[in-house]
Structure 1
């Protein structure tokens, strides 16, 4: 069974890298977006197991995002990911899912 992970970040180039990293593992389905509107649309349309918040999201946007995410998908795990190697990403995701 695949784990669906939604990554929300503001930097398009980093979002492309995150998409590649998340979808490199057959057990993960990564969906990566740069806007809050895209994120809400994904959350409304699909089951999401984990949300990763990337860099560039300011404090006010993060509060609004968390509120929207919790309203749409109560109980979904939300973690912040600001970068690092793919090993760090894997560890963060596995910790959040366990």
Structure 2
């Protein structure tokens, strides 16, 4: 069963790249958005396995977003994604998923 990953970033170009990278792997379903409102809506609609917080989200906004998402899904794993190549992304995701189990 595929792992569903929500990526939230502020830069549309980087978000598009993340969408391509996440959906390039058959074992992952990537959903990539640029707004908190979209993220919260998706969290309500879909069963998510992991949330990646991307570029451009300041510390205050990140804290509020984490609080809102965890209020909806307390078991949700949320990690900061700082960028890097696809190998680093794979490692971050696999590490976060291992921590869940």
The TM-score by the shorter chain falls in which range? over 0.9
Counterpart Cα distance in 2 of 1:53 and 1:25: 19
The unaligned stretches of length 5 or more in structure 2 are none
Q: Gaps spanning 5+ residues in structure 1: where?
A: none
Match of 1:58 in 2: 58
> Please, what TM-score do these two structures have when normalized by structure 1?
0.98
TM-score (norm 2): 0.96
Q: Give 1:20-59 correspondences, 5 Å limit.
A: 20-59=20-59
Partner of 1:74, secondary structure, is coil
> Which portions of structure 1, spanning 4 or more consecutive aligned residues, are displaced by more than 3 angstroms?
none
Cα deviations across residues 25-54 of structure 1 (Å, max 9, x unaligned)? 000000000000000000010000000000
Q: Residue 52 of structure 2: SS of its match in structure 1?
A: strand
How far the C-alpha of 1:82 sits from its partner, in A, is: 1.5
Count of residue pairs brought into register by the alignment: 98
Do structure 1's residue 87 and structure 2's residue 80 form an aligned pair?
A: no
Q: Distance in 1 between matches of 2:89 and 2:59?
A: 22
Find the aligned partners of 2:72 and 2:20 in 1 and give their Cα distance. 26
Cα root mean square deviation, aligned: 0.5
Q: CA deviation at 1:59?
A: 1.1
Offset at residue 60 of structure 1 (A): 1.1
Distance of 2:91 and 2:60 partners within structure 1? 27
